[in-house]
Amino acid sequence: MRKRAQQYLLKSIVFGLVISLMAACTSNNNNPATGNATAEPKGQESSAPAVKEKYTLYHPHQTTPIDLNGPVTKEVLAKMGIEFEKIEIGNGSDIAQQVNLKLVGGSFPNAIILSPESPIWSRLIDEDRLLPLDDYFNQPDEYPNLAKIDKRIIDNWRATDGHIYFVPMGYEPKPEEPSAWQGNAQGLWIQSGLAEKAGLTVDSLGTIEGFEAYLTAVKQLKDSQGRDLIPLSLGGENFAGLEYVMSMFGVVAWNEAGDGTQVPDYRTEGFKRGFQWLNKMHLQGLLDPETAFHKRDLFLEKTNSLRFSAMISNGWDSPNATILANNNLPSSITYSELEKQGFPEGWFVPVKLPTVDNIKPAQYANFNPFGGLETGVGKDTKNPDALMKGLDWLQTPEAFILMEYGLESMGAYKMEDGVVVVNQDVFQGPEFWGGEGMTNVTEKGFFWWKQLGSTLSTHIPTLEAPWIATNAMLYKAEQINQEQGTFGLLPATFRTKALVGGMVEKYTPVQTDIRLQYYAKLLLAKSEAEFEQVYNQFLSEMKGRGHDEETIAEFNEQYAAYMATPAGQVKIEVTRSMPRNVFSDKAEAVGR
């Protein structure tokens, strides 16, 4: 769920949002959230047709067979008022190839589930295979729940011809009131207590000069095994934390120029300054030199051995879980309990990025309210209204609860005074998420159907247990991102799609290779003169071998066209973050 390899590189080069195919699905190993938002818990009704229609469904991303006789599946379809006589799944190979074979074979399903960013949608639209769905979002009497979807969500997925061709899932129905937890734990993490040992305070790390003083001081300290501490790491392989360093210097993947066009990061002065600072840290022995080339397993080994005093990283690789185990503390210990007895030595905490001059840190923690997988309807579908009635019902809290927790009789939850009370022993047990892979999920049918259509759960009143301490620290990191201004709506530059078959698509792999090669050289340069020489070579390589002038021009054309669409004009200001039960010592209802 948390793909981080080459995150900064990909964001710098691939000019569209890469949405995880299971975006609102599972994150139960490290993420305590069951979802981030949903529709209003009351007042949503949908009438199911008396006669059930039969349809075909194609989900090429799914590889585990779906049992249509599963108890939850039967109930979901009964509520939808339809039947699927056939559900085809994928074979684990290239999605585009699978769909191409389907199209060549001459058959097309009544419903198809794909990632919204997939270029396959464009082909299906061009070949007139999909039914425009605009009217279904504008008939509150017939399709009340589809009509309630925020129009900005709909506009974001509007095709270039102006029509809507799919129903979103996992979207935020109240964009201004999302969950207070979006999974953004990126930034600066330090070993608590080290600043005090070095005769400093955490507050003194607030500037780049103060942070350097901290790194210099802790360099003199030893770890529990008598080894020298490594003052600073940039996270896992391929410069995983580079994006957050660049934020300190006001740089993002694409930066607005004075004429309104977008300039890539490496052509900005801030980017160069950022690497000059990293090179300075290397030359002073304050930065782990292996960050330029080490593999993830080596990074994790050093992390869990508490070799680092500070990490500028995504936060999810914090060694806190290992620290608990080393101190014979249960991984399930809550933040409240751990705070009462005292945090163990070496405990990692997030702190604000140090400021550089008067530069405002650039945004890197993104809020995406638009959804994950999407469902399109075949143009030749008979009685599409009945199918859309079913999809309308899937947007309700009743549907979410059924698809998330199964039938109430299965024991995973119960309703008390309008609040969902989850029985974690059952929900995380062998019949549900404790089973083998996705087999139990698809055999019984719960959860899987959310991929066909659903909201998220933020506004469904749910009794939530206090958060475990490790996840509470990740939550704290996101709060810091909000406080320091590095959190916000997914930028339009990230939402701009690359031209299929264009220069960006063609030269992205080449530019990625160039970046990796020269990032290491810049970081490890032995002098200012060598740094300047390498930096100029880097720009030359991007221009020649990387054809960056062509890719930049093409991206700006796509960006300008995107900004002229309703999607490009979408703006969302968060007015309220729905609180979570992070720091208390007892279960409390959230979502209202």
DSSP assignment of 383-440 equals: SHHHHHHHHHHTTSHHHHHHHHH--GGGTSEEEETTEEEE-HHHHTSTTTTTSSTTHH
Q: Is residue 485 part of a domain?
A: yes
Query: How many residues would you count in the chain?
Result: 592
Which phi and psi angles does 416 have, rounded to 5°?
Answer: -135, 110
Assess whether 5 and 68 both reside in one domain: no
587 domain residue, yes or no: no
Neighbours of 93 (CB within 10 A): 11
Question: 172 and 193 in one domain?
Answer: no
In a domain, 588, yes or no: no
pLDDT of residue 437: 65
Query: Distance between CA 64 and CA 431 in Å, rounded?
Result: 16
Print the domain residue range for 120: 37-178+370-462
Between residues 132 and 440, the one the model is more confident about:
132
288 domain-assigned: yes
Residue recorded with tokens 């949002």: 17
Residue-level pLDDT at 36: 30
**Does 47 have pLDDT greater than 80?**
no
Q: How far apart are CA 442 and CA 431, in angstroms?
A: 11
Q: What pLDDT does 98 receive?
A: 87
In the prediction, which pLDDT does 112 show? 96
The answer to whether residues 379 and 500 belong to one domain is no
Least-confidence region, from 325-339, 437-451, 476-490: 437-451
**Region 490-501 average pLDDT:** 89
**Distance, CA of 557 to CA of 551 (rounded, Å):** 10
Q: Does the pLDDT of residue 442 top 60, yes or no?
A: yes
Tokens found for residue 34: 């069951």
Q: Which residues contact 426 (CB under 8 A, 6 or more apart)?
A: 410, 411, 412, 432
587 vs 258 pLDDT, higher one: 587
CB of 272 closer than 8 Å to CB of 217: no
Mean pLDDT computed over every residue of the chain: 88
Looking at this protein, which amino acid is placed at residue 590?
V
The CA R_g of the chain, rounded to the nearest whole Å, is 25
Q: Is residue 567 part of a domain?
A: yes
Q: What digits encode the pLDDT tens for the residues 49-107?
A: 456 779 999 999 999 898 999 999 999 999 999 999 999 999 888 888 888 888 887 78
* pLDDT for the residue numbered 4: 35
Start-to-end CA distance of the chain, whole Å, equals 27
434: in domain: yes
> Under a CB-based contact definition with an 8 Å cutoff, are residues 276 and 220 in contact?
no
Sequential DSSP letters for 146-158: HHTS-HHHHHHT-
Q: What is the pLDDT of residue 26?
A: 31
The last residue of one of the domains, among 414, 446, 462, is: 462
Long-range contacts of 259-262 (CB under 8 A, 24+ apart): 261/556, 262/493, 262/552, 262/555, 262/556, 262/559
- Longest distance between any two alpha carbons in the chain, whole Å: 78
pLDDT tens for each residue of 455-489: 999 899 999 999 999 999 999 999 999 999 999 99
CA separation for the pair 361, 484 (Å, rounded): 8
pLDDT at 106: 77
Q: Which residue has the tokens 């749910």?
A: 462
Mean pLDDT, residues 377-394: 96
Average pLDDT over residues 188-215: 93
Q: Are 262 and 304 in the same domain?
A: yes
Contact 350/476 with Cβ under 8 angstroms? yes
Token duo for residue 334: 């809550």
Report the pLDDT value the prediction gives residue 10, as an integer from 0 to 100. Answer: 33
From 55-59, 344-348, 359-363, 571-575, the region with the lowest mean pLDDT: 571-575
Same domain, 345 and 395: no
Residue 35: pLDDT band by 50, 70, 90 thresholds?
very low
For residues 80 and 141, membership in a common domain is answered with: yes
Residue 584 domain flag = no
Calculate the CA 335 to chain-centre distance: 24
Tell me the per-residue pLDDT of 190-199, one tens digit each, with 9 for 90 and over. 998 898 888 8
Q: Which two tokens stand for residue 225?
A: 């095994």
237 confidence band (pLDDT: 50, 70, 90): confident
Does 397 lie in the same domain as 351? no
On whether the CB atoms of residues 12 and 371 are closer than 8 A, the answer is no
Residue whose pair of structure tokens reads 């209204």 in the numeric block: 385
Q: Are residues 1 and 16 in the same domain?
A: yes
What is the domain count for the chain? 2
Share of the chain above pLDDT 70, in %: 91
Rounded Cα–Cα distance for residues 508 and 515 (Å):
10
Burial 469-502 (b: 16+ CB within 10 A, else e): bbbbbbbbbbbbbbebebbbbbbbbbbbbbbeeb
- Phi and psi for 460 in degrees, rounded to 5? -95, 115
Assign 512 a pLDDT band (cuts: 50, 70, 90).
very high
Whether residue 171 is predicted with pLDDT greater than 80 in this model: the reply is: yes
**518-536 CB burial, b ≥16 within 10 A, e <16:** bbbbbbbbeeeeebeebbe
User: Is 559 found in the same domain as 540?
Assistant: yes
Res. 436: pLDDT tops 90:
no
> Is the alpha carbon torsion for 3, 429, 450, 93 positive or negative?
positive
- What is the per-residue pLDDT across 535-556, written as a single tens digit (0 to 9) for each? 999 999 999 999 999 999 999 9
Q: For the chain, what percentages of helix, strand and coil (3-state, to nearest 5) are there?
A: 40, 15, 45
Residue 547 phi, psi (nearest 5): 50, 45
Structural domain contains residue 113:
yes
CATH number at residue 473: 3.40.190.10
Q: Residue 21 pLDDT more than 60? A: no
Of 446, 462, 478, which residue constitutes the final position of a domain?
A: 462
Residue type, 472: A
Task: Answer with the one of 427, 462, 497 that is the final residue of a domain.
Answer: 462
- Range with lowest mean pLDDT among 36-45, 215-224, 391-400: 36-45
Q: Given a cut of 80, is residue 567 above it in pLDDT?
A: yes
Residues 264-314: tens digit of each pLDDT: 999 999 999 999 999 999 999 999 988 888 888 999 999 999 999 999 999
Determine the Cα angle at 344 with ends 468 and 34, to 5°: 10
| Mean pLDDT on 225-243 | 90
Q: Are residues 553 and 408 in the same domain?
A: no
- C-beta of residue 350 within 8 angstroms of C-beta of residue 185: yes
Assess whether 12 and 128 both reside in one domain: no
Reported as type and span, the H/E element at residue 469 is: helix 469-483
Residue 242 has pLDDT above 90, yes or no: yes
**pLDDT in the model for residue 281:** 97
Confidence of residue 12 (pLDDT cuts 50, 70, 90): very low
pLDDT band at residue 592, thresholds of 50, 70 and 90?
confident
Clarify whether residues 7 and 154 are in a common domain: no
Question: How far, in Å, CA of 63 to CA of 22, rounded?
Answer: 13
Which pLDDT belongs to residue 469? 97
